[in-house]
Structures are given as C-alpha cells and as structure tokens.
Amino acid sequence: MTSIPEALLWCLSAGTAAAVVLAALSIRARGQRAGLRARLSAAEEQNSATLHSNTELTARLRATEAEIRHLSGTRLPDLTLALAHPHVPVPGLLDARFAGTETDQALNAVLEQVSDAITKERARVDAAAQSTLRGATTTIQALLYQLQSALQEMQHRYDDPNVAQDLLNADFLNEQALRRVQATGVVCGAWPGLTREDSYLAELVVGATSRLRGYERVQVSNQLRDPVAVVARAVEPVAIVVTELLANALHHSHRELPVTITLQQGNRGASVIVDDYGVGMHDDEIKAAMELLSGDDSLLLTQLGDPPRSGFAAAGQLVRQYGFGVHVEPSPYGGVRAVVYLPGDPLLTVLDESAQPMSVMAPLPHRSGQPDRSAVPDRAGSALPTGATTPSPAAAAPAAQPAPSYEAPAQQADGELPRRRRRKPVSELDESAPRTESAPPRSPEETGTRWAALQRGTETGRAAAQSEPPRSPEGNAQS
C-alpha cells in the first residue's frame, strides 16, 4: 500500500521538474527571439543609414564633378580674359555649399597657379617682343637721322625753289616716320636717341609743332616772365611728350579748328597747356589716358590696342623716367586740355638772352606790355615775302650741337628758377656790355626781309666762289 503513494509522488515530482524545464526553455526561446528581433532592427537601421550616406556621397561626388566642369569650362576661360581685360568678372563657385571647404581652397589654388603662369608667360613673351622692337627701332631711327642730315645738307646745296620744296616735303615725311619709330622705341624701353643743349621752352614747343601734320593750325602764346629753358638731358623727352599731346589734339579735332598752346610760368616751374576744340574724351577714356600717362604700372604691348596707340604710352614712360608731370582733363572749349608741368628743379633753367638769343621762329614772351609773336611754322613759305626761303622743318627744333660751358648757377631766391650764364668768349671781351632790355618784337615782314637778305647774300657768295665752272640750274657746280 505504501508503494503506490511513493510512485505517485515520484511521478508528480518528475512532472513538476519537466514543467519547470519546459518553462525555462520557453523563457529562453522568447529571449532569443527578442534578441534576434533587436539585431534585425539594428541591422535594418544600419542598412538605412548606409544607404542614406551612400546617397549623400553620390550627390556630393556629382556636385564636385560639376564644380570641376564649371572650373574648366567657365572660370578658367574668364580668368584668362580678365587678365587682359580687368573689367571682365571671374565667376565664383557653382554650388555655395562648397564655400570655405577644402574643395573651394583646392579650386582657388588652381586659379591662382594658372593666373600666375599666364602672367609670367605674357610678361616673358612681351619682353621678347619689346626687345626685338627696341633693336629694330634703334637701327631704323639711326638711319632716319642720317637721312635727315642728308636732306638738310641738300637743302643748303641746291638753290632751285622747286628742288628746295621737294626736299622740304621729303624732310617732313622723314620727320613723320622718325616720330613714329621714336615713340615705339620709347614704349619698348629705348633711349629717345638724341642729345641737345639747353633750349628755350618756346623754341622746344615750336620744334615739337613742326613734327606734325596740321602744324599750321597750332597757335602758341608765350606767357613766360623769364627766358625759361629746359636742361639738355630733358629737351628731347619733353619735345616727344608735347608732340604726342599735340598729335592727339590735331587728330581729334576738325581740320579747320585751331589748337592753342599756352606757356605759363609758376613759382616752382613752368607749364605747357594744350587746348583743342575737338570731340573730347569720355570719363573712361580720360581715366585710361591718365593711367598710361602716369607711367606707374608695367606696360604690355598688347594693352596698346590694335593697331597699337603708342603716343600716351611713350609719354608715360618719359614722365616716369625724367620726373615731370602730364595731366589730361576736359577742355573748357569742349575738347581736351593737356597740361605738361615741368618742375624748376631740376628740369628748368634761365638762359642769358644776350649770349644766346631766342630763335626768330619762337614766340616772344609777354613782358613789359609787349605783344607776343605768332609762332605758327610755315613750311610752304606762304607767310614770307617773295624771294624769302622757308627754313627747314628741323630748323624750328633746337639744333643738336655740343653744349657750351656754363658757369655755376648763381644763388637765387626761394621760388626762382636757376639761372645759367655762358662764359664770355675772348672775342667778346671788348664788346659793349650785354643788353638789359628785351629785344623788340619782330613783325612777319621784318622776319621775311631778313630771310630774303640771307638768301641773297648766300647766292652772291656762291656765285663769286664758283665763277668757274658755270653753275647748273639747281645751283651746284658741274663736274
């Protein structure tokens, strides 16, 4: 009887243990399923994040490729154009999200390197071109000076009026070619190519006028108080600058309108003021002209236009080298006013008129109420009386002669120009004291009479010296 309860108890114990085991297994299975579901959810979230990151990376890669295409197709071509024409803008980034990033810095580095390389290459090519032009213009300029000397010798050799007129025309054409070659050489860094002695400013201006077509339209008014002269080293540079300013005035004004030149003297220097009545210049043109005339920046030949306009560029180079100033502004007469300012120290001096009289071609200054003398060169000789000979075009310019010796400048008051006086030659020691008053103004009739007397004296002397063999119609002896 006792075995049956024990068996039941054993069975109950076994069932309870089995139930406990089953319950434990069920709990464990549920925990494993929950962990698996959590891992699956985490994996899904990670896959979603990875997919989103891949999408963003793909979009950024495409945007970077678009920026590179924008750099090569738009920014670099505009950069090369802006280097030649500064007013052309260079576009920025295509996508503003790259601003300040490493991509932006890398693209800017490419632009800077390309800009530096292009600038250096342009400077190298331009320097080579300038060197070639400098050598060519120097040689051509020397040949033209030789031709000028030969033409002037022939003008003195032949007496026939028709031959003399043809020689004057040839000399004038040679002067045009010389001016163009000289300006081109100066732009390329060449020396002006001519040395003169100290010359009166009025003579210098008349000489500059005689180098241009339309010189008969130029009217010179001398308002200088003293016999102001330009020192030898600056005579030709100042003449070149005045010539180019006059050429601009004559070119941009009607052929029947005058161009006026006024010589003014201030406390610290003198000025040459050129006024025309032409079409004038716009504000941007005046700004560009002032940039060229300042001579500050390095100049490239490609900046002179096509065809190149070298006048203002040559003037700017000389302004920078010799220390005077040029200013361009609208004229009160509707055209353009150009002012050349020459500082008294060190470019000006005052000459002794008794030792070195001013040329008859130059206008007399306004002193003691004296009227000024017209200074319009006349190559055709129409203003001279019959029988007078027209001087050579180069006669109006200061002659290239050895500079005379000078005494040391005397002490001058503050604001006055330095004065130089020639040492008196031995042959002049017994002559009367130098004049103290200015020479009276010479009328055109008096000037023509003097030229005619000079011509008659020259012909008489040649006829006496060349009585045998007989003279040819051109005035030179036959061989």
Are the C-beta atoms of residues 70 and 94 closer than 8 Å to each other?
yes
Measured CA to CA, the distance from residue 276 to residue 252 in angstroms comes to 8
Q: Whats the size of the chain, residue-wise?
A: 479
C-alpha dihedral sign at 296, 300, 306, 307 = positive
Exposed e or buried b per residue across 339-369, where buried means at least 16 C-beta atoms within 10 angstroms of its C-beta? bbbbebeebbbbbbbeebebbebbbbbeeee
Are the C-beta atoms of residues 272 and 339 closer than 8 Å to each other?
yes
Instruction: Output the six-digit token pair for 476.
Output: 């030179």
Q: The whole model's pTM is what?
A: 0.66
C-alpha dihedral sign at 155, 161, 167, 169 = positive
Q: 3-class DSSP state for residue 214?
A: coil
**Nearest Cα to Cα of residue 275 among 338, 205, 360, 346:** 338
DSSP code per residue over 396-435: SSPP--PPPPBPPPPP--TTPPPB--BPPPGGGTTSPPPP
Task: Return per-residue pLDDT of the chain as tens, 479 residues.
Answer: 556 777 666 666 766 776 766 677 777 777 777 777 777 777 777 777 777 677 888 888 888 899 999 999 999 999 999 988 888 899 999 888 888 898 899 999 999 999 999 999 999 999 999 999 999 999 999 999 999 999 999 999 988 889 989 999 999 999 999 999 999 999 998 988 777 899 999 999 999 998 999 999 999 999 999 999 999 999 999 999 999 999 999 999 999 999 999 999 999 999 999 999 999 999 989 998 999 998 876 788 888 888 888 899 999 999 999 999 999 999 998 899 999 999 998 899 999 888 999 888 888 876 544 554 554 444 433 333 333 333 444 334 443 333 333 333 344 444 455 554 444 443 343 434 444 444 455 555 565 566 566 666 666 665 655 554 444 333 343 33
Are the C-beta atoms of residues 271 and 229 closer than 8 Å to each other?
no
